[in-house]
Amino acid sequence: MAVVIRLKRTGAKKDTAFRIVVADSRRARDGRFVEQLGFYDPTPREARYRVDVERAQYWLGVGAQCSDQVRSLLKKAGVALPMRAKKAKPAEKPAKGAKSAKGTKAKAPSAREQARRVRKKADRVARKTVAAKAKTKAAKKAEAPAASS
């Protein structure tokens, strides 16, 4: 189950308030939730919020992901957020014709891939022969009216 910490909207129309909840990511925004961690009221001049720091740290520790707004609220509340792992940069490809490092060889194609290549080559040859026949046929037609005149 993918768990997220997000805001659940409560309150009347044009008078919003939010609950900070832990929910299954597949549930609706205002649907069923696992646990309530606090609240957030954005309407006063200075927004009010309360967060159960201990429970928030627990859920982050077990892998729950935060929405952007909840992340900023947790930062304000002093919850230590886990560092995001940076994506590894892909290795640069060697230039064409250059030997690869440590003498590694290219992976041999599978039998399925070899069969696909053979079919593709046969199709290419067949198309060329059909095109060549069409050209010669057109050339003969062009010569026939010229010869009869």
Tell whether 39 is covered by a domain.
Answer: yes
Mean pLDDT of the chain: 82
Pair 22, 71 in one domain: yes
Pair 70, 126 in one domain: no
pLDDT per residue over 23-60, tens digit each?
A: 988 888 788 888 899 989 988 888 888 988 888 888 88
Name the helix (H) or strand (E) containing 11: strand 3-12
Asked if residue 94 has pLDDT above 70, the reply is: no
- Which band of pLDDT confidence, cut at 50, 70 and 90, is reported for residue 91? low
Cα distance between residue 132 and residue 137, in whole Å? 9
Parent domain of 133: 109-148
CATH of the domain at 62: 3.30.1320.10
State the total domains in the chain. 2
Final residue before a domain boundary, out of 21, 53, 77: 77
Asked if residue 149 has pLDDT above 60, the reply is: no
